[in-house]
Amino acid sequence: MQAGQPSTSTLNPPVFYGSALLVLALVLFSALMPEQAQTLFGDLQAWIIANVSWLYILAVAVILLTVVLVAFSRYGDIKLGPDHSQPDYGNTTWFAMLFSAGMGIGLMFFGVAEPVMHFLDPPVGVGGDVAAAREAMKITFFHWGLHAWAIYAIVALILGYFSYRHGLPLTLRSALYPLIGDRIHGPIGHAVDIFAIISTVLGVATSLGLGVTQINTGLNHLYGVPISIPVQIGLIIGTTALAALSVVTGLDKGVRRLSELNLGLAVLLLMLVLVTGPTVFILQTFVQNTGSYLSDLVSKTFNLYAYEPNDWIGGWTLFYWGWWLAWSPFVGLFIARISRGRTIREFVTGVLLVPAGFTLLWMTVFGDTAIHMIMRDNLSSLGDAIAQDSSLALFAFLEHFPFSSVISLIAIIMVVVFFVTSADSGALVVDLLASGGREPTPTWQRLFWACSMGAVAIALLLADGLTALQTATIASALPFTIALLLSMWGLLKALRLDATKRDLRYLAPNISPSAPSTGGGWQRRLHNLLHLPGRGEVARFIEEVAAPACAAVVEQLSAEGIESRIERGEDGRVRLEVLRAGETDFTYEVRRKAYPRPAYAPDDNEGDQEYYRAEVYLKEGGQNYDLMGWRKDEVIGDILDQYEKHLHFLHLVH
């Protein structure tokens, strides 16, 4: 247990018990009556494909367009957190966790299988020729490229913005705040979080149950391990145990280290195939595939095959869109959890472009190499093996490389670790949802959810209910899509207000007065610029100047009939708050902040490694200017300047 971790429960009872009962009911229905469940959920999915497919296609297109426009608009400089916040993780670690939680396991399963299946059986035309090869890679890029990551990005952006910027819980209910306000803390909010928990538990559990078939197939192919239910149950138990161990160690240790391990193994496997395969062909096709993908992006985004109706779009594109949407509460919340402190532009660039670029490279290296084997090396047996059992695709592919047993072992380890990272990050997300966004939580709660997902997977595997719940999970994307579109509208509304306030705040920069009201003049200002005060000096300034200035403003506001108050922090900070019912509160805070002592510093306080500033913080975060050396009336003037801008902001948004 980490230092400071609570020993008592942090559960939100309505969400915890409500989601647990509904998950149990769905699992029992799928396990005890698998045929009826599959029929019911299958009919529901068929109805969605026949009647609402246009909404899925249009919604995903709107999501991608919105994400790109927000990133490159004036909103792009807004941070997911206060203005002074910094990212919690370095870029490499951040990308590793994005990749592992987002779709790493899918690349292992579909990296070879999907391009080959499209090549042999395209949606239109004849399979097996050059045209089919080009189309296969364009379709694969389309399914695994920008659209998928845009869905994750918009959910993460909504949650991260309202949680870290506006202090709301890091749960799915916060996405509805612009639409229903404080009612997110009532039954509506509970229902939204319950939906997210059910979607996450069932999504991870069905993936575990279906994914162990690939591990079992690989072990059978390499070492002759029998393909059987007992073996697969043992694999689920082992994966769940590793996930539980990772969950106990927490996000910064378990999930982080496993994600970095997975990224390293993925790069190693990618390079092995690239170097030992048809290297020049792979590099050529990657460039060509990227260009073809980008040139067809708009037409494929809106293509419903309305003029040549077939079952292909329901089995592929709509399946993927539904699956990404169904998984987005889990993956989006996890991405939001690890993205605090980044600007919206930095966040979107990282989430949209970097993982998508790596994904497309992966699909080219594995998919085009497999197509090259079938089309040019006449290895038709590879295509036959993939058509017969897609879970065998990766291992049937790798056996044609030097040191195939070693490479295949690396692949099996990657599959296992990817499943572990999906399970442990899923458990952390569900625990966060069931706790109302409160952190840290007791270890037993995280263990409960990790073990629950393993137990659900085993129960469904034994009762042959995995396919039914997978279908149900994808069908659940329909109501979530509608809620997500409404939340996007709320996000844009909130960003517009935030940007308006930001523009007002920086319209006239606040600097130390050049002509103070009494004595000193420019000489005092120069002295303040050159002097680097120590900790005690800044503490005295806050106590003797900033705090009395805030007190004087509060006294006058009270005389005007406006509710206001002063709060003091343990570290000496002073905070003034002006409270208006139904309006955004105004806050003005002076904090002591340390900086490394620069090389040009004069000799005063020689030997100190740090100097301090008395910096101003508003509700939006730090403003990066120093009050040290100001007089009381000058501080009061700055408070009034900021309050005037706040009142003007309230006027503009009404």
pLDDT tens per residue, range 351-392: 998 888 898 999 999 999 999 999 988 888 888 888 888 878
Task: From residue 436, give the alpha-carbon distance in Å to each of 176, 330, 334, 430, 479.
Answer: 15, 15, 15, 10, 22
Q: Up-side HSE of residue 245: CA atoms within 13 Å toward CB?
A: 10
Instruction: Please tell me the predicted confidence (pLDDT) of residue 4.
Output: 42
Under the banding of pLDDT at 50, 70 and 90, the label for residue 466 is low
Tens digit of each residue's pLDDT (9 = 90 or more) over 446-457: 888 888 888 888
Would residue 125 be called left, alpha or beta, if left means φ above 0 and alpha means ψ between -120 and 50 degrees? left
C-alpha span between 383 and 389 (Å, rounded)? 10
Nearest Cα neighbor of 118 from 109, 108, 128, 103 is 128
Do residues 581 and 596 touch, judged by C-beta distance below 8 A?
no
Could you tell me the fold of the domain covering 13-501? Amino acid/polyamine transporter I (1.20.1740)
Order of strands, edge to edge, in the sheet holding 564-568?
564-568, 574-578, 586-596, 610-618, 621-626
Q: Which of 486, 529, 553 is nearest to 625 (CA)?
A: 529
Residue 175: name the closest of 342, 12, 332, 335 by CA: 332
The C-alpha atoms of residue 345 and residue 649 are separated, in whole angstroms, by 24
More confident residue, 103 or 127: 127
pLDDT (tens digit, 9 = 90+) per residue, 596-616? Answer: 877 666 655 555 678 889 999
| Residue spans per domain, the chain | 13-501, 520-598+606-652
**pLDDT for position 213:** 79
Please, which residues have CB within 8 angstroms of residue 654's CB and are 6 or more apart in sequence?
Answer: none
Alpha-helical runs (H) found in 344-379: 344-348, 354-363, 369-375
Is the sign of the CA dihedral 554, 558, 562, 563 positive or negative? positive
According to the per-residue pLDDT averaged within each range, which of 168-182, 472-486, 636-650 is highest? 636-650
Q: What is the pLDDT at residue 1?
A: 36
* Separation between Cα atoms, residue 627 and residue 635, nearest integer Å: 7
Indicate the residue type of 344: I
Whether residue 122 has pLDDT greater than 50: yes
